């Protein structure tokens, strides 16, 4: 069993090394400003948070992405005045790079938590999004993201850490 594990580990690192030569592997981390859209905008103010994104290069222009983070919204006046709404997205996607510009569709799940004095509720929902942006040393992105009952436009500025090929 130990030999099988060692063989499997060696095979994994060899295959990772071969694939790493083909693409561009990165991590980006940075702040995000989220603008509620539709009925979500009727209840909540602009959200603030941060995200981290792993990018695994496939081929010369594509990357598989995995994004997570934390975004917090405060309620507007009236019924929602004391309410807090938090989103933790987990999105998988594919980024197609066109030199420094990119397009990135994403699918995943988002964990939502609503808090108001004396009450708290959490749930997880399917979410999807599509983003465009510019990537260099800094990744500047614009994304539309939709969930059941909550749609938003996200503006992201992230520092990019590139890994050697």
Q: Which CATH number characterizes residue 84's domain?
A: 2.40.160.20
First to last CA, the chain: 32
pLDDT of residue 22: 61
In a domain, 49, yes or no: yes
In a domain, 84, yes or no: yes
150 band by pLDDT with thresholds 50, 70 and 90: confident
In a domain, 29, yes or no: yes
In a domain, 134, yes or no: yes
In a domain, 5, yes or no: no
- 67-83 pLDDT per residue, tens: 999 999 999 978 778 89
pTM for the structure as a whole: 0.81
Rounded-to-integer distance, Cα 159 and Cα 165, Å: 19
- 59-116 pLDDT per residue, tens: 889 999 999 999 999 999 787 788 999 999 999 999 999 989 999 999 999 999 999 8
- 1-29 pLDDT per residue, tens: 444 443 444 444 444 444 444 678 999 99
Instruction: Work out how many domains the chain is built from and give that number.
Output: 1
Is residue 54 within 8 Å of residue 27, measured between CB atoms? yes
- What single-letter DSSP state applies at residue 163? P
**CA of residue 38 relative to chain centroid, distance:** 21
pLDDT of residue 60: 84
In a domain, 3, yes or no: no
pLDDT of residue 165: 64
Residue 143 belongs to domain spanning? 23-162
What's the mean per-residue pLDDT of the chain? 87
């Amino acid at each position: 069993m130990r030999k099988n594990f060692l063989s499997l580990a060696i095979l994994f690192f060899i295959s990772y090394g071969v694939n790493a030569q083909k693409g561009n592997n990165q991590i980006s981390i940075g702040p995000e400003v989220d603008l509620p859209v539709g009925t979500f905008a009727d209840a909540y103010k602009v959200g603030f948070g941060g995200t981290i994104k792993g990018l695994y290069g496939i081929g010369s222009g594509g990357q598989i992405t995995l994004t997570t983070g934390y975004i917090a919204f405060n309620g507007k006046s009236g019924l929602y005045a004391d309410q807090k709404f938090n989103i933790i997205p987990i999105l998988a996607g594919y980024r197609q790079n066109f030199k420094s510009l990119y397009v990135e569709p994403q699918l995943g799940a988002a964990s939502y938590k609503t808090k108001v004095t004396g009450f708290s509720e959490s749930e997880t929902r399917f979410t999807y999004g599509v983003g465009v942006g510019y990537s260099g040393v800094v990744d500047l992105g614009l994304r539309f993201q939709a969930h059941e009952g909550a749609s938003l436009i996200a503006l992201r500025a992230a520092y990019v850490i590139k890994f050697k090929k």
